[in-house]
Structure 1
Amino acid sequence: MSASTHWLATASAQSVLERGGNAFDAAAAAGFVLHVVEPHLNGPAGDLVAIYAPHGREPQVLMGQGPAPAKATIEHFTSEGLTSVPGAGALAAAVPGAVEAWLLLLAKQGTWELAEVLGYAIHYAENGHPIGKQAATVIETMAGHFEEHWPSSAAQWTPQGRLPAAGENVKNSAYAMVLRKLIAAGHNASTREARIQAALTEWKEGFVAKSLVEFARAPHRHSSGTDHAGVIQLSDFANFAASIESPLALEFHGTEIVKAGFWSQGPVLLQVLSILKNFDDRHLDPSTALGAHTVIEAMKLAMADRDSYYGDSCTPKVNLAELFSDAYGKERASQISDYASTSFRPGSLHGISPRPPELRASADEPSVLGAGEPTVRISGETRGDTCHLDVVDKDGNMISATPSGGWLQSSPVIPELGFPLGTRLQMSWLDETSPSALRPGRRPRTTLSPTLLMRRGHAVAALGSPGGDQQDQWQLLYLLRTLVGGYTPQEAIDAPTFHTSALASSFWPRTWNATGVVAESRLPADVIAELRERGHDVTVVDGWSLGRMSTVTREPSTGELGAAANPRGNQGYAAGR
């Protein structure tokens, strides 16, 4: 079974499975296809977080989040006249991690040759694919900016000044050539693993890294409205390595929820579940006002901890896993009242009270082309999200992966590569005291947050959603509906959803709304009315606009497989047999 945010990625993954590849071959093939077919939502110079379970056992985290370059210091940014990391432009680039992570997975767990895996992406890049409506809209929105400030992006996406129409065949011959050169780098290698390693060396030390570094040196327009040069160097590529890490986990209603570590947003889902454990099932139904209120308030508490404790630069000498302990969850649950809190309320660990981040009211939020992750704004305006894919094979191999970054609206396209650098450093703070402070060699705290579910030592589901700060919020509603409410996976994905905006936005310009809630119009009118009576500032948006969940499932006792995908956007797809 395969499921993803784009039908061509799902089809590619399923083709690999049908031809004898395993789930990891399939996921890597789909991942490279997503670079081509969803260039406004992810790119080769972006990042990746995945959780996978070989043969359905012993889950591991695939860490493809690159760190800040050696010259990306707070002092340098402030000397450039900046008060925050820009949301667009090469100065905000972390070291690319997505391609390296896919190659690591393929080498460690895959079975196919690199040429076979990359063949799908090469096909769609060389021969074209029908561009989606959302991608075409992003290009239209950015066209003036491209023409005036980023001519290399204009040459790629609006050649001769012509905008691509939704459904029109669009090619990326430069990226196809990149993939062919990566394959060619291993022609003299004697083993599959050596051929993959040769491709990785070419990526990190050869023409790709050299082109990215050289292009970034030229000053260009950033979301700050000023021109800056990037600071990434070849040594930054050499000093980074994608890796395999141990995950974190929490049991909830008989199921183990598996997430990435505190350098990601992932543990926030474990935190909110540890809070909700202290309520009866009446409080856990997102379709009721009582349930929605409880979920929103619990998420606000967990997000306040995320914004105060999470990050590679965290300095308190405490065990952050205590943030989702039973005792801490019970304490935080007691802070939820019948009415919406208007305060930013991080908890205290062993008497350590974190310094809250500087919060900016959403009313001050500017609109800047190319800035921030293309996700849902606090106002409810939908800007898109990122990508996600899930795969399970007949042997129980399972993976949930969330690739992102390196969007076409991030930075100027490097002409010979066909893609830009990413802007993940915008999630770092120019504040030395922040747990996610900008520091060379430290990873920005990413929002990428895939999930794996385990029961009795076996993987039973891989799931996730794009959406920046909303990823774990939408996944939470899915888990409550399936694990508590008895919904089928497709019913849970289709159900009306909502999220809170009472958090410090992870993306530039870092706004928050103390009582903000964004809800689909399909949520019952009486539920919305009662939420407002409880003090929530509810923005109602289109009934099919929030979340892009997908999932694959497996029943260990029978080997039966399942999958579900999101109908929103008419682009996600699940397939299998």
Structure 2
Amino acid sequence: MFTTRPTLQGTFGMVSSTHWLASGCAMAVLEDGGNAFDAAVAAGFVLHVVEPHLNGPAGELPALVAPADGAVRVLCGQGVAPAGATIAHYRSLGLDLVPGTGPLAAAVPGAFDAWMLLLRDHGTKPLADVLKYAIGYAEQGHAPVERVGGTVETVRELFETEWTSSAAVYLPDGEPPRPGRLFRNPALAATWKRLLAEVAGAGGREAEIDAAREVWRTGFVAEALLRQSARPTLDTSGRRHTGTLTAADLAAWSATWERPATYDWNGWTVCKAGPWSQGPVLLQQLALLPPELPPYASADYVHLLVEGCKLAMADREAWYGDAADVPLDALLSAPYNDGRRALIGEAASYELRPGGPGGRTPRLSRYALGLASAESGYEALGVGEPTVAKSPLSPVPGEPARPGRAGADGEPTVSGDGSTRGDTCHLDVVDRWGNMISATPSGGWLQSNPVVPELGFPLGTRLQMTWLDERLPNSLTPGRRPRTTLSPSLALREGVPVLAFGTPGGDQQDQWQTHFFLAVALRGPIRGGLDLQGAIDAPNWHNDSFPGSFFPRGMRPGALTVESRTDPAVVGELRRRGHDVLVGEAWSEGRLSAVARDPETGLLSAAANPRGMQGYAAGR
């Protein structure tokens, strides 16, 4: 099939990411003798600089890590809710939802510590060697992509009137960053230079990294973060609030290593983060597939995947979260998914239908049920017992009437108040020794909170994904992680890591990744390797038939967005089956990246998304 670019192949190292500068810097680290994990850390800090509307140091980082000589592990850089972030506190402020911006939405920052843990435990380079690229771009400048300036322009009034520390960085001389003009963030460069100065001489590579983690938790970085959290800040509620973050919260938390959730399908083992993320949604979509699949890209095929996704996402809403004991084994079991698969009929479903694994009763937020009633004809009879009638789609307040919740190519949809959906970065690296990583850094973006003046970056807003309802798996709970949409992927063949992939896109991540993975797994190879670029370039789609994870938590039952490159006959048949199909732009769905390794030959490959005109792969 036609592809926009070749699938790169080589034997030395391969990188793919959502920004060419991050990919280039990761490759430079490999050329300098570093391994895949050194390269990923360097690229991650560059992404903080060049995609500040999509991620930042005070955001989050989940990653799938596969050392050449060890088992696949999950790196959890998702911070928890502070001790003072109780439902009672937010309710006392008159809130029904956690705001989409501001310090009340801030979890304990997780990205920085996770990158440090990765570098310490699996990297080989000193901290200064991997930070120098980000320092250089922040201090000397880089040519920003259009979306940075577009995001700043959207929130210009907020920055100029309320978040003036953000205006100082992103509206210098009153103008947002523009392509073709160097953009600098000297405060961020100064932060990393001061950090390096304070940890120099700590006693070796690992000691310096641990000292940097301590500076972040208890030193000048922590002090500045706490001052910012205590400043009254205008958020999406239309009022000014202070946050709940304390010195004890920062000092007590650190990133962790965990076992992945896995599912075996058709000779592959797919690895994801656990149900504190939405990652197992991809695994359940595979579990819902019948033994024989319809022809690839046919109407039957798309319908099957869309309806399976709806069921898996309904289970996400009812069961996933760090505040509960998630019955994941049951949710991925064959008997359970055989029963769920029987719910997929010839017509599109407009229902939110969580299941009851092991006879358990599903639990849904009262807000989600009320939203379903208001937007979709639901009558909330009780938790987990909605009845549903088909009805025309109606827009969620503050959102466009038809397009999906996120920007079509995975870039954020940003409102003037800073509320954001679908924003993230992604990177994958594999090296000549067989080390492999898939990482999805996000959060702490420029529109989430005011820039901390002393640091050059803002706090995050991941708590907006929790519910202010008691006893739900994703209830706001001190010391627990908010369920995140961030969802890197890694796949094995016969127990050996072969493929790392992922995408930005909020709730769409595990929709687009499922389509990509099946395209790789079902279609023939190219030049003796996996056809990564063909799978990325193939027309993609997503649905919105479940409560969104981002403020204001909207949903559109029956809505299906497809790229205009989709066969018109397929579109017509999907509409005949009842899908409310929106035909989007030709290249509008997803920002996938991927790398692969053939364990028999050592051949490495990589591909990157052409949508958005900034993702690139590099390698040799």
2:518 to 480, 484, 491: 480
1:338 and 1:249, CA in 2 relative to 1: closer, same or farther beyond 3 A? same
Matched with 1:262 is 275
1:533 and 1:474, CA in 2 relative to 1: closer, same or farther beyond 3 A? same
Matched with 1:421 is 459
1:531 to 550, 553, 574: 574
1:375 aligns with 2:406: yes
1:355 aligns with 2:368: no
Contact 2:410 2:505 in 1 (8 A): no
1:374 and 1:38, CA in 2 relative to 1: closer, same or farther beyond 3 A? farther
Contact 1:532 1:538 in 2 (8 A): yes
Q: Deviations over 1:519-561 (max 9, x none)?
A: 1111111111111111111112111111000001000011000
Matched with 1:101 is 114
Offset of residue 367 of structure 1: 2.6
1:320 aligns with 2:296: no
Matches within 5 A, 1:435-514: 435-486=473-524, 488-514=531-557
Offset of residue 300 of structure 1: 0.2
- Distance in 2 (alpha carbons) for counterparts of 1:96 and 1:167: 32
Matched with 1:395 is 433
**SS across alignment from 2:357:** coil
Give the letter aligned to residue 123 of structure 1: G
* TM superposition score normalised by structure 1: 0.96
- Distance in 1 (alpha carbons) for counterparts of 2:273 and 2:455: 31
Q: Deviations over 1:418-439 (max 9, x none)?
A: 1110000000000012210001
Offset of residue 218 of structure 1: 1.3
Which one is further off, 99-108 or 55-64? Answer: 55-64
Offset of residue 330 of structure 1: 1.2
- Distance in 2 (alpha carbons) for counterparts of 1:18 and 1:378: 31
Which one is further off, 221-230 or 95-104? Answer: 221-230
Give the letter aligned to residue 238 of structure 1: A
1:408 aligns with 2:437: no
1:544 and 1:449, CA in 2 relative to 1: closer, same or farther beyond 3 A? same
Contact 1:223 1:368 in 2 (8 A): no
Contact 2:410 2:590 in 1 (8 A): no
Contact 2:412 2:423 in 1 (8 A): no
1:282 aligns with 2:294: yes
Contact 1:57 1:459 in 2 (8 A): no
- Distance in 1 (alpha carbons) for counterparts of 2:202 and 2:449: 35
**SS across alignment from 1:512:** coil
Give the letter aligned to residue 535 of structure 1: G
Contact 1:217 1:229 in 2 (8 A): yes
1:198 aligns with 2:205: no
Matched with 1:311 is 321
Matched with 1:150 is 163
- Distance in 2 (alpha carbons) for counterparts of 1:198 and 1:180: 14
- Distance in 1 (alpha carbons) for counterparts of 2:276 and 2:472: 13
Contact 1:57 1:457 in 2 (8 A): no
* TM superposition score normalised by structure 2: 0.89
Q: Deviations over 1:460-517 (max 9, x none)?
A: 0110000000001000001111111336110010011001100110111111111111
Offset of residue 378 of structure 1: 13
Q: Deviations over 1:173-214 (max 9, x none)?
A: 111111112211221212110011111111110111110111
Contact 1:57 1:458 in 2 (8 A): no
1:378 and 1:114, CA in 2 relative to 1: closer, same or farther beyond 3 A? closer
Offset of residue 31 of structure 1: 0.3
Structure 1 stretches lacking a partner, 5+ long: none
Give the letter aligned to residue 542 of structure 1: E
Give the letter aligned to residue 308 of structure 2: A
- Distance in 2 (alpha carbons) for counterparts of 1:134 and 1:380: 8
**SS across alignment from 1:350:** helix
1:164 and 1:374, CA in 2 relative to 1: closer, same or farther beyond 3 A? farther
Offset of residue 72 of structure 1: 0.6
- Distance in 1 (alpha carbons) for counterparts of 2:405 and 2:445: 9
Q: Deviations over 1:208-253 (max 9, x none)?
A: 1110111211111001111111111111111111010000111112
* Matched positions, count: 569
Contact 1:378 1:512 in 2 (8 A): no
CA RMSD of aligned residues (A): 1.9
**SS across alignment from 1:420:** coil
Offset of residue 279 of structure 1: 4.2
- Distance in 2 (alpha carbons) for counterparts of 1:365 and 1:23: 42
Matches within 5 A, 1:559-574: 559-574=602-617
Matches within 5 A, 1:37-56: 37-55=50-68
Q: Deviations over 1:90-118 (max 9, x none)?
A: 11000000000000000000000000010
Give the letter aligned to residue 76 of structure 2: M
Contact 1:402 1:448 in 2 (8 A): yes
- Distance in 2 (alpha carbons) for counterparts of 1:572 and 1:162: 26
Q: Deviations over 1:18-68 (max 9, x none)?
A: 110000000000000000000000001000000011006410000000000
Matched with 2:419 is none
Give the letter aligned to residue 247 of structure 1: P
Contact 2:262 2:269 in 1 (8 A): yes
Matched with 2:591 is 548
2:228 to 215, 234, 253: 215
Matched with 2:390 is none
Matched with 2:397 is 366
Q: Deviations over 1:296-333 (max 9, x none)?
A: 00000000000100001125xx6322111111121111
Matched with 2:386 is none
Offset of residue 355 of structure 1: 2.1
